[in-house]
Amino acid sequence: MTAVRMRGVVKRYGGFTALDDVNLELRENTVHGLLGRNGAGKTTIMQILTGQGFETAGEVEVFGLHPYENPTVLDRVCFIREAQKYPDSFRVRDALSAAAMLYPNWDADLAASLVEEFHLRTRQTIKKLSRGQLSAVGVIIGLASRAPLTFFDEPYLGLDAVARQLFYDRLLTDYAAHPRTIVLSTHLIDEVSDLIEHVVVIDKGRILMDEDADVLRGRAVTVTGPAAAVKAFAAGHTELHREELGGFLRVTLEGADPDTRLRSEGLEFEPVSLQQLVVRTTQLATEPRRENHDGREVAAR
């Protein structure tokens, strides 16, 4: 079943095109990673899917219906934004009790245990929380809402590494017990790469990559070795990235299988992390001429 469907979606702000012909389908009961640089259009997509923003053109369906002003859809949707606003006078407990009233599947026990684990004090005024604690409030609402479709838009801002791991762990545990559709928008791709089952990469308002994570994990490989041998191996494959240092060459190739027999020629093969693949693919889309350069590239920083 499909939870989300976007067809030919365009969003313009005045003369600026934020989304350009976006076609997207998100499977139900899957953890999706929505990845992309700042300003790529991730938040815009999520705003449109939650009825908070309006598309300029195209078709949008969430659980088969348009989300705008649609309580049937929105009762099943939770959108936790990095920039979620809370009334100044609200304490942590006020925000949680408001969420409890609004989300039909709210789990108060889960919320209470998360409050403890994130070291929040429910009587504290939200306005006075640190950035990390503020993020924790959003994370708690997002998890405890148990909404069939939950969006997390960079929910970790200011959270320390331990708290982020706590979020990932709790997300995974709760997802296993209560399968639902989760869309995780993040910059920290390495941290969530074990979590994501499906990857969508967006750049400058266009979908760049839309694949299952398992497919992507084997998609690229990095080869290092003497320049001549690496060039011979690389011939015929799409080159995502190249670094050269002295007589040694290091290239990231798409669609190439590591050939261990070539180790004798001094070639070394390394798997490419999801983060590297996303970064390289995005860079390639930004500077398409890069792959035709030959030997001129200096090691990228």
Q: Which residues bind another protein (CB under 8 A)?
A: 47, 50-54, 69-72, 74-75, 77-79, 81, 84-90, 94-95, 97-99, 101-107, 141, 146-147, 177-178
Name the minimum Å distance from CB 149 to another protein: 10
Name the minimum Å distance from CB 192 to another protein: 22
Check: CB of residue 164 under 8 Å from CB of residue 180: no
Name the minimum Å distance from CB 12 to another protein: 14
Name the minimum Å distance from CB 47 to another protein: 8
Angle formed by the axes of helices 92-102 and 108-117, to 10°? 150
Query: Which CB, 177 or 298, lies closer to another protein?
Result: 177
Query: Which CB, 161 or 176, lies closer to another protein?
Result: 176
Backbone angles phi, psi at 263, to 5 degrees: -60, -35
Name the minimum Å distance from CB 254 to another protein: 39
Select from 62, 65, 66, 58 the least CA-distant residue to 22: 58
| Cα–Cα distance list, 210 to 166, 271, 278 (Å) | 28, 20, 11
Name the minimum Å distance from CB 162 to another protein: 26
CA separation for the pair 75, 149 (Å, rounded): 10
Backbone angles phi, psi at 161, to 5 degrees: -60, -40
| Cα–Cα distance list, 229 to 65, 94, 158, 224, 251 (Å) | 55, 64, 45, 9, 11
Please identify which residue in the block is written with the tokens 């400058």.
204
Query: Which CB, 101 or 161, lies closer to another protein?
Result: 101
Please identify which residue in the block is written with the tokens 């997300």.
171
Name the minimum Å distance from CB 285 to another protein: 29
Burial 253-266 (b: 16+ CB within 10 A, else e): bbebebeeebeeee
CA separation for the pair 175, 101 (Å, rounded): 22
Name the minimum Å distance from CB 202 to another protein: 20
Select from 6, 37, 34 the least CA-distant residue to 22: 6
CA separation for the pair 164, 157 (Å, rounded): 9
Query: Which CB, 47 or 276, lies closer to another protein?
Result: 47
Query: Which CB, 90 or 248, lies closer to another protein?
Result: 90
Query: Which CB, 82 or 291, lies closer to another protein?
Result: 82
